[in-house]
Structure 1
């Protein structure tokens, strides 16, 4: 076996479990050993319980020996972002302002993974209330990027992104309300899918918030989606059951009409290494027969500012509901968002909501003529680990290319398309029409196979 156990794909693990060539126990031990190597440096985990993980693995081992696996992910290690509830574990939401109490039940995605037999190894970190495309948290230690410990993982699925890069097993779940799966995937070199709105149930339900996989391969992302994309009555926005061909990932791009969106139409520009990597990827699609056309920025600045106001008002409402002494424990950036919202009138709040709707409408209209849209995930490279954004003067720069697809409900995936001169990963975003989650994964799989970019992963610092 050429790959270490912790680095094997979920597909490879399942094949070898079925053949009796591997045990979930030895794989889980290998993942736990890998976490022990990396974790003092990256600090990506929360509520890690090695004994519980090994108990799940032993139960899975017994089922495989009896040739009676519980489900389609039996024995495969997985991590979940800490805001995805798991029974008996507190959900701090990344914030010291949260009252810690054990969760009474599993959230829908966690429940589906348990039913499928997956081994839940750990939860992963996030910033306060998932508010940042960065890792800083008032509750968790600072999570760092395994590619360069001085750099950020992105956020808000910060721990999940780091877990993929560091090799904490094959499957990881994050959440995404403005880029929170895709930005960490881009900064950490992973595959990260934001599904169509409603494809994966979220509890409590929320407009624009999605749950999606972060993995090392497109097929593993598809395997994870096959399990979690099931309706759940707790989410009134969840889509009805659909027998989608998640694992049929073959695609010819010949004749596809693809929009190429690289100009943000803003006072800032995309970093040159990012731009060149995305343009090079677009040429690969074009050489394979796709019709690639430039796509201009379609969202007016005042519309984006409206979305900012809407999410800042969320911060104000959440902190206002807490006793002042507890609200004061939240990260300063979250308090500042609430202070910004305090200056908004009721009319401003309603206008912010309608501007989010306007963003959704304009995004669908601009992208509808295309089968898919290519763009950067983030305009910049991973920034300093302790920073909250790449550009103080332009706070909307980091989620500029991602947030529009949350509002429109369209699926979008991040996949590595190159490296900066310093060796930092660069993410290519592939967005599709709403409900075409499989099509987006097929485009990512095409790139995965056609890409001239070498696949590599970081190693922990020497002891």
Structure 2
């Protein structure tokens, strides 16, 4: 097996080969580290590549295999972690030069659970400063590139994780989603990403546990791998009010007879013609497999960006405003503008936004009285060229992410799965949304599409960065 073949193995198969002593964790991790060192100059996907720590962990994993120890489900599997999630002993930089990175002395709960399952962390991936937008560029690492076409964005804010996955740098990634930050890069990089139900994976680092709309979630190249990482990270925690109890079991479901509500356009924005056609074909494949598909328009999704903007910008003003006051000249201009906007809302407007959030939740709940899942294009367009992006705040986000931030507000699980490719080779994602704790049905539909379309086997043509990019 070549080094590249090892790098593109699914996590589930990689773990089986390691457990059967057919592949060494040391060799697996070394292959992925070599690929990271070769391709990161083109992609700029890593804030910190933890090569020495990963090699030491791989040696410990190998010793456990040879000793016949009981192995976890991710034993020896390389994984990346977004640079806004704590990993003990590694810098936590948040993509910022306005503050000094800290070195946490303990892992985030989700990271600790992945490590306990045997995962080997190879590095921290890039994000926009404090994860404030769906484009991965910051003053600390610069611009992250899309492995399918280096002139295009990988999305964000989990853009480094999405780009690394697509390029074969680890089969799994731990990411976060505060307004589409897992699903946008999943779509634009041709991988799978899940924003879980609020509380399914504990978010103990979120300052507001009760009004929270940001989530830790898994990304992967394969749906089965995504399900595996979800199973490792989920579960109760006393640190998160929404994670006090175990997730209830979702009823068994198959694509045959699944009731799908198909929204080709969401809210007031239109999906571009190419994206709409590709995602509609993917929904048609589910219909051919026995799903019952009904096209609908849901007015509850109209005008929601204004609601999201109040909540997101006030949160950033409260948490990062002191940095603007002391080191604003070192802060990303779009984050500065977001904080200024957040300082302008009144308490009445903030509470009205929370009320609208509750109304949205109830409206989406009503849809699930008719449907098992909802399906939408993940974003209204494919990955934009880096030289065509509006550099201002909020830029293209309100239109691109019109189908994303509603489910951050409502708490419903939402998954992006590959739907196809454009004629010029850019990936397109289909978003699947379920009722609270309905992740299982999303995974079933995603796995069915993966089997029917065969897109998980595609590999991007990563190349050195041309001088003009």
Q: TM-score scaled by structure 2? A: 0.92
Alpha-carbon distance in 1 for matches of 2:202, 2:267: 34
Is 1:105 aligned with 2:110?
A: no
Cα 1:223–1:302 shift into 2, 3 Å: closer
Deviates more, 1:44-53 or 1:67-76: 67-76
Unmatched tracts of structure 2, length 5 or more: none
Per-residue deviation, 1:197: 0.9
Deviates more, 1:87-96 or 1:108-117: 87-96
Partner of 2:119: 118
Cα 1:217–1:423 shift into 2, 3 Å: same
Cα 1:224–1:265 shift into 2, 3 Å: closer
Is 1:457 aligned with 2:459?
A: yes
Alpha-carbon distance in 1 for matches of 2:396, 2:84: 28
Alpha-carbon distance in 2 for matches of 1:168, 1:388: 29
Is 1:209 aligned with 2:214?
A: yes
Partner of 1:319: 320
Contact 1:383 1:389 in 2 (8 A): no
Superimposed CA distance per residue, residues 43-68 of structure 1 (whole angstroms, 9 cap, x where no aligned partner): 11122121110000000001001121
Alpha-carbon distance in 2 for matches of 1:244, 1:364: 18
Partner of 2:174: 173
Cα 1:238–1:30 shift into 2, 3 Å: same
Contact 1:153 1:385 in 2 (8 A): no
Deviates more, 1:88-97 or 1:252-261: 88-97
SS in 1 for 2:149: coil
Partner of 2:384: 383
Give the one of 411, 419, 422 matched to 1:420: 422
Is 1:130 aligned with 2:128?
A: no
Per-residue deviation, 1:295: 1.8
Per-residue deviation, 1:23: 0.2
Partner of 1:337: 338
Alpha-carbon distance in 2 for matches of 1:110, 1:80: 8
Cα 1:389–1:413 shift into 2, 3 Å: farther
SS in 1 for 2:194: strand
Give the one of 248, 257, 261 matched to 1:259: 261
Matches within 5 A, 1:61-460: 61-205=62-206, 206=209, 207-242=212-247, 252-266=254-268, 268-299=269-300, 301-322=302-323, 324-385=325-386, 387=389, 395-451=397-453, 455-460=457-462
Per-residue deviation, 1:20: 1.3
SS in 1 for 2:63: helix
Per-residue deviation, 1:39: 0.3
Contact 2:222 2:456 in 1 (8 A): no
Contact 1:231 1:239 in 2 (8 A): yes
Cα 1:60–1:281 shift into 2, 3 Å: same
SS in 2 for 1:322: helix
May I ask how many residue pairs the two structures share in their alignment? 459
Q: TM-score scaled by structure 1? A: 0.93
Alpha-carbon distance in 2 for matches of 1:187, 1:389: 19
Aligned alpha-carbon RMSD (Å): 2.3
Per-residue deviation, 1:97: 2.1
Contact 2:266 2:301 in 1 (8 A): no
Cα 1:378–1:389 shift into 2, 3 Å: farther
Is 1:5 aligned with 2:10?
A: no
SS in 2 for 1:320: helix
Superimposed CA distance per residue, residues 312-350 of structure 1 (whole angstroms, 9 cap, x where no aligned partner): 112222333337232332211011112223332232222
Per-residue deviation, 1:143: 0.8
Alpha-carbon distance in 1 for matches of 2:223, 2:205: 28
Cα 1:47–1:410 shift into 2, 3 Å: same
Alpha-carbon distance in 2 for matches of 1:38, 1:415: 24
Cα 1:323–1:155 shift into 2, 3 Å: closer
Contact 1:83 1:92 in 2 (8 A): yes
Contact 1:82 1:126 in 2 (8 A): yes
Cα 1:295–1:86 shift into 2, 3 Å: same
Unmatched tracts of structure 1, length 5 or more: none
Contact 2:44 2:145 in 1 (8 A): yes
